[in-house]
Amino acid sequence: MDFPFCAGSQLSGRGDKVRGGLIVASNREPYSHRKTGRGLKLEIPTGGLVSALDMVLRVTGGTWVAWGSGNGDREGTDADSRVWVPPLNPSYRLRRVWLSPESVKNHYHGFCNLFLWPLFHGEPDRILYRKPFWGHYERVNRAFVDAILAEGNEDSTIWIHDYHLCLAPSMVRAASPERTIAHFWHVPWPDWELFCAAPQSEALLTGLLGNDLIGFQIPLYACNFMASAAACLGAAIDYKAMTVTWQGRITQVRSFPISTDFHSFDSLATASATEIRVRRLRSKHRLPKLVGLAVDRLDYTKGIIERLQVLERFFHSNHSFRGTFTFIQIAVMTRNGAPYRAYRQEVEALVERINARFGTADWRPIVYSTTQLDQEELAAYYRLADIAVITPLCDGMNLVAKEYVAAKTDGEGVLILGRRAGAAAELDGALLVDPTDRDAFVATLRRALTMSRVEKRERMAQMRQQVRQHTIYGWVGNILDELALIPQMKGGGRDALQHGEEIAARLAGRGLLLCLDFDGTLAPIVECPERAEMPDDVRAQLIALQGRHPIAILSGRSLADVRARTGLPGLIYGGNHGAEMGGYTAGTGSLADDRLLLEEFLVDAERAFAQVPGVLIEDKGVTASIHFRRVAPAQRETFLVAFQPLARQYAGRLRITEGRKVIEIFPQTAGDKGAALQQLMAEVGSGMVPVYLGDDISDEDAFRAIRKCGISVSVGGSPAAEFYLRNQGEVARFLSLLAHSANGRNFQVTGHDTKEAESI
């Protein structure tokens, strides 16, 4: 992407690769309105799904479609059931879907909670299915689909979440066959034998296979899903490519382990306010030296009763820990159905029994709380706990485990983790247990409490490194990268790294003219353009290719900027999308006349956007750019209204094109990247194979220019390119492939002239 403006986020630029806007659909909403005696109160639900997706849409913009479950939600929306959120910095639209009391009863409390939840968590004895459930499940999925179709256009990317909306993908597909549709599955997927024996299993799978992409937490769940599709539907499975083919459509299946914001919890844990909270907690609960912790939703899948039974056995057989070790169990009740009320009663009775059996006037073995905690409060509990015991019977991921690791800045906590939590596949430093094996669990608990300081630090360092390297931002970025590739894959685009032999064969004996974009291709997208720089591995590969092949860098930056930022002599540089070629032919008009017209436009643009906060007008000499990345989404319409008369005023005199959050302004006579590449082919690359790498809309001119004679590679995907790389991190590997494939001819660039030198 050429010259991206600061986005103020670690996801800068990545959401822009999703064309046509992003629509997220989930059962839960990110913001709800509740009626109070003082009027409407806006509440922000907690939880991994909500916080992660809210962060995505704050960066990308778009629409979130969700059930309006708050008792004041109708009063909090406009006549079209929409509201801009978040309230202090409106970044995207929330579109609420209204459900009747019967649908809430039969869809949410019935089919989702009493049937699907135990099914996907491997609890067949708890599954309850009633005939009205299915009709309301279909009805609610249809209501969501109607809202989704109303909010987007044909190019919108739709990202659906979890088990509440299994039928929505195929319903959207039927109404709009060319849409890009993806689904993230937050909970486990069971063995195929259990799933296929359940009612409506074929209908659920058929609904999900309307997706182009389905993401799961870990590879095991992805494989279970594919096995279910094969067993229930007879779908064709390719385990190597991770695809399911059904009724002529291909669905990509991937694992995307969700994570947390490492730096947020790392910072919170060391804050002075957290230190104060830790001291208050110790005093309030009269805590002894050693403290254990579990934080769960009050649910039978979390293994709370099994954990408490182990603690009872532990205190019975380990007398020395009575009075010196207290376990804090936080269990928040988020569902009120009969099985959850009964489960809560059982948990509380067990806590009462353990405390009565072992407690003293000065010490309680179990501190039990059902209070919902915010991140600041959670960080204090994490910091306080010597051990965390996260032992669900089955869980999609369990972010509490990762949050605990991120908050252990002293490096001395111990994590006991259930084997069937998704996090167990990633956190190698944890002590893994089977929550139902009481004797082994007791022994592991004792080991954690007596572990040496050296071993604690080694294990925690290993886990902290994993969570630090794989954050929530990485999770989102990986999925956005995959979503951006879907249109190109549908159009027959192929992975360049997987087709290296074909590319090498096409280059054999002919030589290589290599042309590359800068931002997003040679250099990763960063928050602010002045910080952009090439990674060392990319620079090393360019140096390896340099001198053997003519290499040109064509960027949206000015010629002087891209030359200085690349910093390699002997290359050909083109700035302003090829309009500024540093000696090579670029356009045919009068530079003086073009400049006067551009200056006139810039004056009018400053006047037009004076009242629109966040607009940046950049004068690049030969061309200009109007960046609107910082314009609040709620103000985008104001921006477009201000721009339209300006565009009409200069129509026919200037060429105006829209990129990702930027509008580019060119003189009519200025060249583009396609024209610049054709000129280089004529002057430098005669008889060679042109290879072009780029990632932005402006690079598509170059892709099209070499469609019949060269090799076009889009970083992040473009329908105009023949091949793709998944992200900028793969560029160095592709350059290495070229270095080992193409025949070098020893080229030199002196001033503006590229000459073929004698072979050495």
Under DSSP, is residue 100 helix (H, G, I), strand (E, B) or coil?
A: coil
Mean pLDDT over 661-680 rounds to: 85
pLDDT tens digits for range 37-77: 888 898 886 665 677 778 778 877 899 999 999 999 999 99
Mean pLDDT over 449-457 rounds to: 97
Residue 261: pLDDT band with limits 50, 70, 90:
confident
Mean pLDDT over 497-525 rounds to: 92
Residue 9: pLDDT band with limits 50, 70, 90:
very low
Say which residue the tokens 């005669």 belong to.
686
pLDDT score recorded for residue 274: 97
pLDDT tens digits for range 196-224: 999 999 999 999 999 999 999 999 999 99
Start-to-end Cα distance in the chain: 37
pLDDT tens digits for range 701-730: 999 999 999 999 999 888 899 999 998 999
The pair of three-digit structure tokens given for residue 409, joined into one six-digit string: 């800045």
pLDDT score recorded for residue 740: 85
- What is the SS3 string spanning 645-701? HHHHHCECCEEEEECCCEEEEEECCCCCHHHHHHHHHHHCCCCCEEEEEECCHHHHH
| Domains with residue ranges and CATH for the chain | 20-97+144-255 (3.40.50.2000), 262-470 (3.40.50.2000), 491-587+671-756 (3.40.50.1000), 591-667 (3.30.70.1020)
pLDDT score recorded for residue 577: 85
Which among 756, 758, 760 has a CA at the least distance from the CA of 549? 756
Kindly tell me if the per-residue pLDDT of 486 is higher than 50: yes
Cα 492 from Cα 520, distance rounded (Å): 23
Cα 351 from Cα 309, distance rounded (Å): 9
pLDDT tens digits for range 116-168: 999 999 999 999 999 999 999 999 999 999 999 999 888 899 999 999 999 99
Helix (H) or strand (E) holding 346: helix 338-358
Say which residue the tokens 């010259």 belong to.
3
Q: Which of 26-40, 209-223, 257-271 has the highest mean pLDDT?
A: 209-223
The pair of three-digit structure tokens given for residue 363, joined into one six-digit string: 């010490």
Q: Which of 341-345, 656-660, 667-671, 742-746 has the highest mean pLDDT?
A: 341-345
Helix (H) or strand (E) holding 573: strand 572-574
Scored b (16 or more CB within 10 A) or e, 309-341 reads bbbbebbeebeebeeebbbbbbbeeebeeebbe
pLDDT score recorded for residue 481: 86
Q: Which of 43-47, 388-392, 486-490 has the highest mean pLDDT?
A: 388-392
Least confident of 324-333, 616-625, 653-662: 653-662
Kindly tell me if the per-residue pLDDT of 14 is higher than 60: no
Kindly tell me if the per-residue pLDDT of 3 is higher than 50: no
Q: Please state the φ and ψ torsions of residue 653, each to the nearest 5 degrees.
A: -105, -35
Residue 593: pLDDT band with limits 50, 70, 90:
confident
Q: Looking at this protein, which amino acid is placed at residue 624? A: A
